[in-house]
Structure 1
Amino acid sequence: MMGRHVASGPAVRYNNSMNAENESRVSNDRTISCRGLYWNGPALDPESVSTFARESGLDDTLSALLLSRGVSSADVDGFLNPSLKALFPDPSSFADMDKAASLIIDGLLSGKRIAVFADYDVDGATSAAQLIKYFRHFGQELVLYVPDRIKEGYGPSADAFQHLKDEGLDLVITVDCGAAALDALAHADRIDLPVVVLDHHLMHGAVPACAALVNPNRPDCASGQGHLAAAGVVFVLLAALNRELRKRGKAPSELPDLFSFLDLCALGTLCDMAPLKGVNRAFVVQGLKILQRDESVGLLALSQVSGRSAPRSVTDLTFGIGPQMNAGGRIGDPWLATRLLASERMDEALGIAEQLFSLNEIRKQVEHDILQQARHQIENTLAEAPDTQILVASGEGWHPGVIGITAGRLKDEFHRPVIVIGWGEEFGELAKGSGRSVPGINLGSAISKAAEAGILAAGGGHAMAGGLSVERNRIDELRGYLNQNPELFTEELAQAREVQIDVDVFGSALDMNLIEIIEKAGPYGAESPKPLIRIRNARVEFSKIIGKNHKKVLLHDGTGKIDAVAWRVDGRPLGDVLVKDNVIDVLGYVERNTWQGRSSVQFEIFDAIHIK
């Protein structure tokens, strides 16, 4: 257990130590913040935190963070130090895993031509790259196939399988796709092309015809690992492949070191927003350690080209590496990300990285233009109908590769579900839409109902995201249908606009010690968010615009100065209150800011309430 740390001064403020007038102002009258949210004060009481700290041997701040995440004092060590030894599932618990491993090893040992068919996002790329590197260990090269997002759409098609058959492939392994490709798999079966499906997406109905289908979310899979990303499913498969080779007489020294693949597994897990629980936590924690070795030529090349330090943290991967790798699949060559991650020569990797970097710069500009237009539409919608539950924006020529990420940004900005629809030459005859939701509103269900009502040509998804195809002249009808019964969503939308504060902290406590405590409770990601920290009655002593629309500010709450930054807020309500001499309650994240080898504390502002 960790030794108990005694802070040099007061750090965490609890409900019973808060100013009663301020707490009434924030909680009881439901003051709406700059982002249109309601803040709920920290739910922990000092006695519970003290008891947890005494039982666990941790300091009060770390105890509060773990308590807020539902960790018991008995589970502290497993949470803070997740290990593959303790959390790794038995590969045989996955339906068809042993069959898939046997088929793939048969192909490997007999020298058959094998293709990996990958989705075009980071999860697909990291999954394919793991398999490519595994086969290279034995001197064999997999054939790579990645569908074009615009021309071919998502997942396998009959045409793609026919092409691979005509090229003389003996076996196809699909990664991060395939479980729902019923027609395509049926065609592969008819032309005698064996397909092993490795997927993690939800499945409905019967298992399609294929050589093997490994998916922890298939109805008859008893693994209990439905939270895995495709990269995690593939990593478990690699363990099954090693086990199968040992059964066939291979010595352990002849087998790949699977730990060397964990950086790819972690990258796919994080970028696909897989919940950071169970073995996923171990994948990320151990994968970050592998990153320290700087063995991934592709990641080093991409960092070098983009002027970044070698990736070390979750933030480096999700906000630095991930968007650049996705750029190829969104607006360019969908094969680039996998080729980069599988690359073993720096000269080759640098060339690919430069292409991805250039595409990402184009993607950012395209996204910015669409975002501005979509935001304007949504603001007009809310001005006329403030209670609109599901927001819909649409436009001609909006690039199909960025409508999803645009919907995600607008969802974060307006804190309600957003669907962004584009149409034009690149879309074909129908307009295409992509939506992102907030907790409490099942957007996939709403889209499915619109499809069942005949408004959409096709549509569906899950609670937090969905996609659709619709005739252009029916977009207004769709907008009306989604909002014709607002009473169904009122309670859910109100809950979605609530924010739970983890702890209240004095400005004087924002030091490297607090950073280290917060980092110990990580890693942070899906279903394990960064701690939201509130600083109260902070005066803005300095404010300036940096970059295009960010703000750098200096705050002082009477106990200490706080260096802070707020991203993409200029001209927005949050940016409007970040002006000199305003007094605000501010909500955000404590971050480690590293520059030229030196680390400092930076407060990343998420939201604020103007006091005076």
Structure 2
Amino acid sequence: MNDNQNSYYQNKKSINQNYWKLSTRTELETHFELFYSQRFNFPSALVPILIDNKVSKDNFELFLYPKIKNLLPDPSIFIDMDKTVKRIANEIETKNPIGVFGDYDVDGATSAALLKLFLQCFGIEVHIHIPDRFLEGYGPNISALNSLVSKGSNLIITVDCGINSHEPLKELNKTDIDCIIIDHHTPDDDLPPAFSIVNPKRKENGIEYHYLSAVGVTFIMIVGLTRELRQRGVFEKIKEPNLFRFLDLVALGTVCDVVPLKGLNRCFVKAGLNIISQRKNLGINALCDISDLNKIPDEETLGYKLGPKINAAGRIGSSDMGVSLLISKDISKANELASKLYQLNEKRKKLTNNSTLEAIGMVESEKNKIGKLPDFLFLVSENWNEGIIGILAGKIKEKYNRPCCVISIGQNYSKGSARSIANIPIGEYFLEALDKKLLVKGGGHDLAAGLAIENNKIQMFKDFLISKVKHAFQENELVSEISVTSQLSISALNSDLMDWIKKLGPWGQGNPTPKFIIKNVIIKKLVFFGKEKKHLLVKVSDNSGEIDCKIFNINETAFSSVLEKNKSLHLLGNLVSNEWNNKNKVEFNLIDIMT
């Protein structure tokens, strides 16, 4: 790509008000391109992906076919890990019941399910509590902890929560019950009282494994626990469990928690998808069946088909339904739970659609009022179900490319959720607000966070966030820019390229799917499709061939105004494989347009 063409895309805004940034190659990278092409028949269009992932001639095959044994750290490198596995091993040897307190999202459900299924290999009775989002809120509460104790547990393990639950754990600490925290959320400077805390984000652990999900941390813990049990001679009496069979749960939780799909996470998901395709977990199998999957499961299957159904339980249904499905050993029970989750998710979709329309109206009204789009979108309503505010914040953030906080007003207290963009670490802001007593509860990640707040502090909290975001924008100019892997002719967008894209995946947060530009295409045909004709198929051509482009929910985009037959446009999108009815046809998923 010559500099003039790259400059054109970076100095002109697209229909969606984005700049397009094309990858450029250095002389050394051009040399690599020739090597990969000759040695592996690797397409030059995807070389920027290798460069971004620091792939060299020596580790190309290891990157393409990663092995967990090569990437899995020694569990003992994490502070408190040895203490943790020894304590749990003691319970296993004495056959004592263990209590597990999880979160109500997919990461929490898969973490809890993973622990239970592993401990059941040793005949351990495991009691799981997933809190009711509306009645209990996020994280441990003393009532639920006491309930687990009343069932005979001398040890309680919290998964995907607990790192900032000071008060309930202080109460539990007054008893002779031990609590182990396995979490991945950002901790306060002061840690809650617990027997042990395994969290890659503890300061003592450095930053190498900050990207792990809770279920990923839980898996590493059971690797360490298995080693401890082996050293104690436990497997001289019983068969050692095959831990790889649990990777379906690890993959599901990792993708759905939207953590970066790099390093060990990428390997977890790649291996876990293979386990899912073997249909060994009855619950996941039932979800696949009710989702009418017509292809081999991939990362999109997990994130857009299976995950939302499990999350629906915690959002608007019985919060423990998801984990109950994942640990089910009965086919009919699994099918029944999957059906209920499907119905809940359909209800959730309707709630989300109605709330999204109201939220967009609020943003547009504010935009008209002040004459520009605000740097930070702070939306409050009594009409929004608190179970869907995280999804709502995500949709608004995606539509406007602005950090967004959505609050569902309660009687005296309200719940909120936020989604952010690069350089706006929303989780840190929430923790700072918690320290300033602006929030009752708060915390999360750089890109996603949740809160509970007294109604009389909402305006102060809003002012605090706006100030933080304004300062961040002053240091980092907000530019909506889409990184593009290569510019290609239509003939190059073929099945061979699609096969290589699949091999380089899975794709997701931190490892975005490759995006391509097709220059000067001519629109040949426009056809609406779908039950309500809300989607549009656009057949386009250049001097090398034709390809079908699909745009879903066309009325929610700005594309209608420029899509006319015989018009010439530049298109940006990603390659997808349409496997409907076993056709396996390569298509172009349209993301943006430039005239």
Band of TM-score, shorter chain: over 0.9
Counterpart residue number, 1:169 = 153
- 1:406 maps onto 2:392 in alignment: yes
Q: Deviations over 1:113-168 (max 9, x none)?
A: 21211111111111111111112222333111100111111111122112222333
Counterpart residue number, 1:360 = 345
Among candidates 309, 317, 320, match of residue 324 of structure 1: 309
Distance 2:475 2:491 in 1: 38
Among candidates 299, 323, 338, match of residue 323 of structure 2: 338
Distance 2:173 2:279 in 1: 42
Which range moves more in the overlay, 30-39 or 84-93?
Answer: 30-39
Asked whether the 8 Å contact 1:398–1:422 carries over to 2, the reply is yes
Where in structure 2 are the equivalents of 1:113-512 lying within 5 Å? 113-221=97-205, 224-251=208-235, 254-309=239-294, 312-385=297-370, 386-423=372-409, 427-447=410-430, 459-470=442-453, 472=455, 479=462, 482-483=465-466, 488-490=471-473, 494-512=477-495
C-alpha spacing 1:104/1:487, structure 2 compared with 1 (3 Å): closer
Counterpart residue number, 2:23 = 42
Asked whether the 8 Å contact 2:258–2:509 carries over to 1, the reply is yes
Distance 2:33 2:390 in 1: 42
Distance 1:189 1:326 in 2: 31
RMSD: 2.5
Which range moves more in the overlay, 176-185 or 486-495?
Answer: 486-495
Which amino acid in structure 1 is aligned with residue 106 of structure 2? V
C-alpha spacing 1:77/1:377, structure 2 compared with 1 (3 Å): same
Distance 1:170 1:451 in 2: 31
Query: 2:48 is paired with a residue of what secondary structure?
Result: helix
Q: Deviations over 1:98-122 (max 9, x none)?
A: 2211221221221212121111111
> How many residues in Structure 1 have an aligned counterpart in Structure 2?
588
Asked whether the 8 Å contact 1:262–1:290 carries over to 2, the reply is yes
Which amino acid in structure 1 is aligned with residue 379 of structure 2? A
Report the CA distance between 1:454 and its aligned residue: 7.0
Asked whether the 8 Å contact 1:94–1:223 carries over to 2, the reply is no
Query: 2:364 is paired with a residue of what secondary structure?
Result: helix
Which amino acid in structure 2 is aligned with residue 389 of structure 1? D
C-alpha spacing 1:435/1:493, structure 2 compared with 1 (3 Å): farther
Which amino acid in structure 2 is aligned with residue 338 of structure 1? V
C-alpha spacing 1:152/1:62, structure 2 compared with 1 (3 Å): same
Which amino acid in structure 1 is aligned with residue 152 of structure 2? G
Distance 1:26 1:63 in 2: 20
Which range moves more in the overlay, 390-399 or 543-552?
Answer: 543-552
Asked whether the 8 Å contact 2:375–2:470 carries over to 1, the reply is no
Which range moves more in the overlay, 268-277 or 479-488?
Answer: 479-488
Which amino acid in structure 1 is aligned with residue 368 of structure 2? A
C-alpha spacing 1:47/1:499, structure 2 compared with 1 (3 Å): same
Q: Deviations over 1:47-101 (max 9, x none)?
A: 6234343168342233232124433333322221211121111111122212211
Distance 1:300 1:313 in 2: 14
* Structure 2 segments unaligned to the other structure (5+ residues): none
Q: Deviations over 1:29-54 (max 9, x none)?
A: x3222222111122235762343431
- 1:110 maps onto 2:94 in alignment: yes
C-alpha spacing 1:579/1:157, structure 2 compared with 1 (3 Å): farther
TM value normalised by structure 1: 0.90
Report the CA distance between 1:357 and its aligned residue: 0.4
Counterpart residue number, 1:11 = none
Which range moves more in the overlay, 568-577 or 494-503?
Answer: 568-577
Asked whether the 8 Å contact 1:447–1:460 carries over to 2, the reply is yes
Asked whether the 8 Å contact 1:127–1:175 carries over to 2, the reply is yes
C-alpha spacing 1:320/1:53, structure 2 compared with 1 (3 Å): farther
Query: 1:147 is paired with a residue of what secondary structure?
Result: coil
Distance 2:277 2:434 in 1: 48
Among candidates 512, 525, 537, match of residue 542 of structure 1: 525
Report the CA distance between 1:342 and its aligned residue: 0.9
Among candidates 101, 104, 107, match of residue 85 of structure 2: 101
Report the CA distance between 1:371 and its aligned residue: 0.5
C-alpha spacing 1:544/1:394, structure 2 compared with 1 (3 Å): farther
Query: 1:178 is paired with a residue of what secondary structure?
Result: coil
Counterpart residue number, 1:70 = 54
C-alpha spacing 1:460/1:234, structure 2 compared with 1 (3 Å): closer
Query: 2:575 is paired with a residue of what secondary structure?
Result: strand
- 1:15 maps onto 2:5 in alignment: no
Counterpart residue number, 1:564 = 549
C-alpha spacing 1:478/1:204, structure 2 compared with 1 (3 Å): closer
Which amino acid in structure 2 is aligned with residue 497 of structure 1? S
Distance 2:53 2:359 in 1: 35
Asked whether the 8 Å contact 1:388–1:483 carries over to 2, the reply is no
Report the CA distance between 1:535 and its aligned residue: 1.1
* Structure 1 segments unaligned to the other structure (5+ residues): 1-13
Asked whether the 8 Å contact 2:489–2:544 carries over to 1, the reply is yes
C-alpha spacing 1:331/1:495, structure 2 compared with 1 (3 Å): same
Asked whether the 8 Å contact 2:78–2:205 carries over to 1, the reply is yes
Aligned-pair identity (%): 34
Query: 2:379 is paired with a residue of what secondary structure?
Result: strand
Which range moves more in the overlay, 490-499 or 239-248?
Answer: 490-499
